[in-house]
Amino acid sequence: MKNKDSHSHVSGKSVFIDDIPELQGTLHAVPVLSSIAHARILSTDFSEVKKAAGVIAVLSAKDIEGHNQIGGIIPDEPLFAEEEVHFIGQPIAVIIAETHFAAKEARQKVKIEYEAKEVITDPRIAKEKGHLLFPPRTFSNGDTEKGFQESDYVFYGRADSGSQEHLYLETQGSYAIPLENNNIKVYSSTQGPTLVQKTIASVLGLSMHHIEVDVTRLGGAFGGKEDQATPWAVMAALAVKKLKRPVKIILDREDDMIATGKRHPYTSDFKIGLDKNLKINAFEVSYYQNGGAAADLSPAILERTLFHVTNAYFIPNVKATAYSCKTNITPFTAFRGFGGPQAMFVMESAIALAAEKLQVKASEIQSKNLLKEKDEFHYGQICDSNNARLCWDTLNRSFNIRQLEEDIKSFNAKHIFAKKGLAIMPICFGISFTKTSMNQARALVHVYQDGSIGVSTGAIEMGQGVNTKLMQVAASVFSVDISRIKIESTNTTRVANTSPTAASSGADLNGKALLLACQEILSRLKNKAATILDADILDIELKNEIVLVDKNPTKLRWETLIETAFLDRIKLSEVGHYSTPTINFDKSIEKGHPFAYHVYGTAAITVHLNCITGVYEIEDVKIVHDFGQSINLTLDKGQVEGAVVQGIGWVTTEELDWDEQGNLLANTLSKYKVPDIFSAPKSIETIPLKTKGSEMAILKSKAVGEPPFMYGIGAFFALQDAIKAFNKDYSPDFLAPLTPEKVLLALYSK
């Protein structure tokens, strides 16, 4: 089954926030953003703004009746700056006007006097000065000191990875509508409707039941709308409360790029110890996470970094410390992989450095250290499969990697100014929110009198196809045609207290809750069928809309069964509740069993490099991926392909930098190079690993959103491999992204 939205997406019929028909009297909001990275606000003057054509109001901190606070984990971020600003793009006020353009025109008339303060953008400097967003954490196992003593080789290095713009096609936005009795209905392009509801209530000084948040779908999110969709929805709702009129806010692309958080840049120091047989004995690492000006989701992201220190390898002695450094940049936030890619890039850099120094192939070191069943992760969980090895071996066999290496060698021998490079990238990614309490979900199912079915869950459709998977789950339990299932919008009045759709776990958590609700209704229906057919309930089955007794079809069909059950006053609605069993984590010792399961895979990435210009192409990506027992390989392969391209973009062409004043340099699409169809790999081939799958995954179909992102990291090392083939003097450093500009410099470096 294809994504159920495919057709309406390509024909332009899918509804996003800005497509919702506007109610009469709708107003439009545009935020006033700080133009200074760190300053005391001496005065604000909106008098000219208020006089401008079409302007209705300017709202700022003094208009807030509740708490001027939107920090999700740590309360350290005001909705509107009051006395100080801490980053360029920080909201100070919001202009409400008859049209978006009137508000935007009026914004030029804002007068703010600042007294500039010291701007810090470098996390290492922030750390030196003691500017941390929250205390550092250390995960460890074994004894690294002893591990290094017992190592034959020890290498030190540094690895830095850059930021990344989510570049969701639909920018941040919200449409809020006044209802009677102070109630507000809010459409929001958010991954976390409950967070939006809760934050609006808190800022407006209302209870949560006054606020209804509704989401049909998002035009992409990638983590950028887990926390950071919230402030815009709060601004719209605040304006609704003040003005009693519908208010819409849709950020322009440039405002979105400047004001909203991105992937955390990391800079890290590592030390790796290996024995003569290339077994990694010990690994130490310090991560300096650039957190930006407020905590946002950084504590959780930093935690996931610490979980993914060793990627897909077993290392007996590990010590990893992570610092979240406070800088004067927009608060960095969730982005596909959630701190995992940053850790895995450091691990792969350490292996690449060791390989370079020892003059062996990185893949030899990788292969010798892959996780095996019963290995203990450094956080205490026991590895429950040999899937890391199985993926690796299947890749080598299925795609004949040895031959590929030979082909590349002979290509490089034949060409002077064109070189190819190859890298192998294994991955291992833990599935579950690392905060145990977030691993819960609910689903509400109605079977209507005519046999059609309405499903509400907490899952957010953001293009990944979760709604399609949910339809499959409901249809499979009842064994009815997929056309009978409708997935309703995600709405806080139907399904409450939801976790954001994030951590790759949307289909697992909401799917399991849906499964439970459907099974409950199914057992009532079977009971009814047993009565009608005078059979034992254990012999009853529903298959393709027909009731079977002892595997034999009867005349009783789905529609009749439902009609009869309804007339007999049987409950045809149910709420399912799921909370992931067995998971736990004890922060006081940093040990536990935080993940329901792990996802594994291995990719081989080949690049082609023009050694005169530094321009490169990603030739192909070959992958063996652990989908478990995929219930929808079309969707799942789509997720792999999209993630791979996004991962490649992160380490190759997507470059975000800030100048010393804290200005984002790539603040428009003309300055930010996201992979397009020409720079995407020429081919991506994905083979599913043959495996039984995990009972903890929905219908044994493993989570797929984030894990394949990390395959992209291989492009960085494949490029280095190609550079080495041209420049024998090249000594690699580990500073991602490796843009064509940096490649050109590397090709001719001494």
619 belongs to the catalytic site: no
User: CB of residue 116 vs ligand MOS: minimum separation in angstroms?
Assistant: 34
Least distance from ligand MOS to the Cβ atom of residue 502, Å: 3
The separation between CA 630 and the C-alpha centre of its own chain, rounded to angstroms, equals 20
**Contact indicator for 505, 703 with CB cutoff of 8 Å:** yes
Q: Please, which residue, 170 or 284, has the CB nearer to ligand MOS? A: 170
Q: How far is the CB of 377 from ligand MOS (least distance, A)?
A: 20
- What residues have CB less than 8 Å from 21, skipping those under 6 apart? none
Q: How far is the CB of 646 from ligand MOS (least distance, A)?
A: 11
Q: Smaller CB distance to ligand MOS: residue 32 or 502?
A: 502
- Return d(Cα 163, Cα 143) in angstroms, integer: 33
| Nearest to ligand MOS of 297, 444 (CB atom) | 297
Instruction: Choose, from 574, 654, 655, 706, the residue flagged as catalytic.
Output: 706
The answer, yes or no, to whether the previous bond of 581 is cis (omega within 30 of 0) is no
> CB–CB of 226/462 below 8 Å?
no
String of contacts with ligand MOS for each residue 335-364, x by CB under 6 A: xx-x--------------------------
Q: CB nearer to ligand MOS: give 223 or 451.
A: 223
Give the footprint of ligand MOS on residues 221-260 (CB under 6 A). 223, 226
Q: CB 504 → ligand MOS: shortest distance, Å? A: 7
Tokens linked to 541? 């089955």
Could you give the string, one character per residue 516-555, with x where binding to ligand MOS holds by CB under 6 A and - elsewhere?
Answer: ----------------------------------------
Nearest alpha-carbon partner for 577 in 523, 514, 522 = 514
Q: Which is nearer to ligand MOS, 191 or 369 (CB)?
A: 191
Nearest approach, Cβ of residue 710 and ligand MOS (Å):
12
Query: Quick count: other Cβ atoms within 10 Å of Cβ 731?
Result: 11
DSSP string, 333-377: ---TTTTHHHHHHHHHHHHHHHHHHHTS-HHHHHHHTB--TTPBP
Q: In the complex, what is the shortest distance from the CB of residue 623 to ligand MOS, in angstroms, rounded to a whole number?
A: 21
Residues 481-510, one symbol each (x = binds ligand MOS by CB under 6 A, - = not), give ---------------------xx-------
Burial of 655 per CB tally in 10 Å (0-12, 13-18, 19+): buried
Kind plus residue range of the DSSP H or E element containing 746? helix 740-747
Query: Whose Cβ is closer to ligand MOS: residue 112's or residue 300's?
Result: 300
The closest alpha carbon to 674, from 706, 652, 659, 644, belongs to: 652
SS3 of the chain: helix, strand, coil, percent, to 5: 30, 25, 40
Q: Which is nearer to ligand MOS, 240 or 301 (CB)?
A: 301
The distance of closest approach from Cβ of residue 627 to ligand MOS in the complex, given in angstroms and rounded to an integer, is 19
Binding ligand MOS by CB under 6 A: which of 163, 191, 412, 510?
191
Does position 429 bind ligand MOS by CB under 6 A?
no
Cβ contact 429:336 at 8 Å: no
Q: Return the SS3 of 271.
A: strand
Helix, coil or strand: residue 620: strand
Residue 503 or residue 517: which is nearer to ligand MOS going by CB?
A: 503
Reported residue count of the chain is 750
- Site size toward ligand MOS, by CB under 6 A: 9
Q: How far is CA 688 from CA 624, 628, 699, in A?
A: 6, 8, 16
Reduce the DSSP state of residue 652 to 3 states and report it.
coil
List the interface residues with ligand MOS, window 309-338 (CB under 6 A): 334-336, 338
DSSP string of 26-44? Answer: -EEEEEEE-SSSSEEEEEE
- Give CA–CA dist 373/386, Å, rounded: 5
Q: Which is nearer to ligand MOS, 688 or 707 (CB)?
A: 707
Cα-Cα end-to-end distance for the chain: 54
Query: Residue 723 Cβ, how far from ligand MOS at the closest point, in Å?
Result: 31
Nearer to ligand MOS, 266 or 314 (CB): 266
Q: Closer CB to ligand MOS, residue 263 or residue 378?
A: 263
Least separation, in Å, of the C-beta of 226 and ligand MOS? 4
Whole-number minimum distance, CB 334 to ligand MOS, in Å? 4
CA distance 645 to 742: 20
Per-residue exposure over 153-192, b if at least 16 CB sit within 10 Å of its own CB, e if not: ebbebebbbbbbbbbbebbbbbbbbbeeeeebbbbbbbbb
Measured from each CB, the residue nearest to ligand MOS is 223
Burial-class residue 413 by CB neighbours within 10 Å (0-12, 13-18, 19+). Answer: exposed
Distance CA 711, CA 714 (A): 6
Please give the positions annotated as active site.
706
Q: Interface with ligand MOS by CB under 6 A: which residues?
A: 191, 223, 226, 334-336, 338, 502-503
